[in-house]
Amino acid sequence: MNTAEVIQLLRQTCAGYKFEPLAIYKAGGTHAWPLVAKNEADLADQLAGGDHFLPLPREPAALANIVEVAVVDFLLDQLGNTVTLTRGRERVYPDLELEVGGKIYAVDVKVARRKVNAKGQPTGKTDSRITLYTGNTFFLYPQIKWPGILRPFADYAAHIDLVGLYTLDVGSAARVRDFELLVVEAWKIGSRSRSSTTREYLGAIDDIAKLRNEDGEFGSADEFYRYWRAHDWKIGKAVKKQLQKLLDLAAKSQS
């Protein structure tokens, strides 16, 4: 199975995903017991009506964490018997490793809110640029096993992003409306802009139609990597110290 086939498998699987986190469950309730439901929708209505639901956080990063866990759980359930999947760790790249045919693919979940104007109408852009990678560590030195990545960046056959797009709905406990899950190869949605002015993050394009079409600002993976690895990333003292330690360990292992 090659990269295109892995992406196709993920697209077919993600096409069946329905947004699952409805709310935060609160113990107690203001209804009689036992609670008997006819179906899933009836259960959700009764839990909401019985004062069991607290809204999910509306803050983008907090909500994104919940969505990422839900999407990874879905893939583990759907594809666990088809390919070998390994869940990543918190604050470690990637969210999921997919192994098939002796190759390992990095699968990372990104979540972005659709930008709306003052009238609440969508603008066709994401509210902020998706961060593809931290530029000054494992991306810049792809042969080294950094603490923030499961294995050296260069060991992956490809880097695939699952991009979750949503419109914020403050009136809903789920906070999410019109959820859409894209499967894209990361470099194909790359931009020439950083996603942060204060952190060493490289960003994706923010045009949603172009995200869907993988119509980024680079014509090839080689062009993407050459551009961003030539970028003048700031490397602080802590990162320099960490890098030297990793280089020393690599040198010892080769001697």
- If pLDDT is split at 50, 70 and 90, which confidence band does 160 have? very high
Instruction: Look up the CATH number of the domain holding residue 185.
Output: 3.40.600.10
Residue of 167, 164, 222 whose CA lies nearest to 190: 222
Residue 235: predicted pLDDT: 87
DSSP SS3 for 159? strand
Split into its structural domains, the chain has a count of: 1
pLDDT of residue 155: 98
- Whole-number percent of the chain with pLDDT over 90: 84
- Residue 249 is predicted with a pLDDT of 78
Q: Is 215 domain-assigned?
A: yes
More confident of the two residues 81 and 208: 208
DSSP symbol at 203: E
User: Does residue 49 lie in a domain region?
Assistant: no
pLDDT of residue 244: 84
In 3-state terms, the chain is what percent helix, strand and coil (to 5)? 30, 25, 40
Whether 114 is covered by a domain: the verdict is yes
pLDDT tens string 99-158: 999 999 999 999 999 999 999 899 999 999 999 999 999 999 999 999 899 999 999 999
Report the interhelical angle of 3-14 vs 60-79 (nearest 10°): 100
Residue 37 placed within a domain:
no
Mean pLDDT of 229-241: 89
Residue at 91 is within a domain = yes
Main-chain dihedrals φ then ψ at residue 81, nearest 5 degrees = -100, 0
10 lies in some domain = yes
User: What is the model's pTM?
Assistant: 0.92
77 within some domain: yes
Task: Please compute the mean of the pLDDT values over residues 31-40 and round it to a whole number.
Answer: 92
- For 168-187, write each residue's pLDDT tens digit: 999 999 999 999 999 999 99
Nearest to 186 by CA among 70, 123, 94: 94
**Residue 39 within any structural domain of the chain:** no
Q: Is the pLDDT of residue 251 over 90?
A: no
Q: Average pLDDT for residues 86-91, to the nearest whole number?
A: 92
| pLDDT above 90 (res 255) | no
At 6, is the pLDDT very low, low, confident or very high (cuts 50, 70, 90)? very high
Say how far apart CA 247 and CA 178 lie, in whole Å.
46
In the chain, count H helices and then E strands.
6, 11
Predicted confidence at residue 238, as pLDDT, reads 83
Mean pLDDT taken over the chain: 94
Question: Domain range holding 184?
Answer: 3-19+55-254
